[in-house]
Structure 1
Amino acid sequence: MSAAGAAAAPGWTGATGAPTRLVLLRHGQTAMSVDRRYSGSASDPGLTELGHAQARAAARRLAGAGWRFAAVVSSPQRRARATAGHAAAALGLEVEVDEDLRETDFGSWEGLTFAEAAARDPRRHADWLADPTLAPPGGEAFAEVDARVRAARGRLAGRGPADLLVVSHVTPIKALLRQGLGVGFELFVNLHLDLASVSVAEFYADGPTSVTLVNDTGHLG
């Protein structure tokens, strides 16, 4: 069964009608992601050569998967817009930008690795991972990201039932998956999402939500 076919299969939510189906694509590789550095809304690295290749592979997969995309909506950041550009070209669509799909502001941890941030602010870093309302120094809490992503989701859902490609970053995509699953903020630290991975969350007008795909990277094989 195709990914689109699987996503359209009936579930246990009791939902009626067709959903707003958000196909979530993480951007491709950047120089900062090679070193696994915090790369938030304050940095704007472009894609590496491999990142462009990953984006093109994802675009080919999306164009052939059977989804009927009505729009491609991207974070404003360069790495996401470049990834979205490859997909939009394959789908014959234009790239729209939603500011609320930008990555977390990591404050003074921007550009640091996990280990470097933990060494600089050990107590704050540990508390940040456990408390979604606590922000990095000078940065943004997970709960704040979740709230603005929810606002973006509302605008997307307002278009009515449709397949929409959303190109963004780790934290905003996790926020949409968290909202689709109806689970707590532990998902932010327990879920891994690969570069150029595809996930799917569905939101129905009468309330139910579901997640039908997470971190699919088969197109990168």
Structure 2
Amino acid sequence: MKIYSTRHGQTAYNKQEIILGTTDIDLDETGEKQAQELAEKINELGNIDIMIVSPMKRAMKTARAVAEKCGIDMVIDERLREWDYGEYEGKSRFTEGFAENKINFGVRMGKSGESLLQLSHRVYTALDDIISRYRDKNVLIVSHGGICRVIETYFNDMTTDEFANWFMDNCGLIEYNVN
């Protein structure tokens, strides 16, 4: 079994370095092009059986581009929605305290959001279920930067510094082999 992980195409918030978690916005023009390029790449791979997708607009639009090009079914999983950044939502990525809060695993983001522990629990549970349910298939997960970071920790050990600095490009693609 292979699990592929991708982040949705670019949004206006991404381009402007604005923290984007629970705000449900669509792709911008560049993001739509990135989704089409991702669809081409997935089509060339030719080995994806099913997509598991975040319910948020930006992930759904990215996944739809792949589904239309490749004829792959989509399953929506609420657990793949982006990290709730609390009071940081909609602020500059360089807002004081944001980077530090992101690595304090037991502290809720922006006071009212999710802690890294809560986020990891929901993403790890989703991954456990995906692996159990689709063991005989290759799966593409279409989600978000924060979710992709946690997916990376599921498959590869990371120090706190590595976690803090890890980044997934819009429509980047990572392959994980599941034994």
Give 1:87's aligned residue: 66
Can you give the 5+ residue segments of structure 1 that lack an aligned partner in the other structure?
A: 1-19, 205-221
Can you give the 5+ residue segments of structure 2 that lack an aligned partner in the other structure?
A: none
RMSD of equivalent CA atoms: 1.5
Structure possessing the higher relative contact order (Cα contacts under 8 Å, 6 or more residues apart): 2
Give 2:13's aligned residue: 32
Asked if residue 148 in structure 1 is aligned to residue 103 in structure 2, the reply is no
- Per-residue deviation, residues 54-82 of structure 1 (Å, max 9, x unmatched): 0000100111024x211011101000000
The aligned runs of 1:13-162 (5 Å cut-off) are: 20-40=1-21, 42-66=22-46, 68-115=47-94, 117-118=95-96, 122=97, 125=98, 127-136=100-109, 137-158=111-132, 159-162=134-137
1:157 Cα deviation after fit: 0.3
1:185 Cα deviation after fit: 4.5
Aligned residue identity for 2:85 = F
Mapped to 2, the partners of 1:49 and 1:78 lie a distance apart of: 14
User: Identical aligned pairs, as a percentage?
Assistant: 25
Q: How many aligned residue pairs are there?
A: 177
Asked if residue 164 in structure 1 is aligned to residue 139 in structure 2, the reply is yes
Q: TM-score, normalised by structure 2?
A: 0.92
Mapped to 1, the partners of 2:151 and 2:167 lie a distance apart of: 14
Mapped to 2, the partners of 1:187 and 1:95 lie a distance apart of: 31
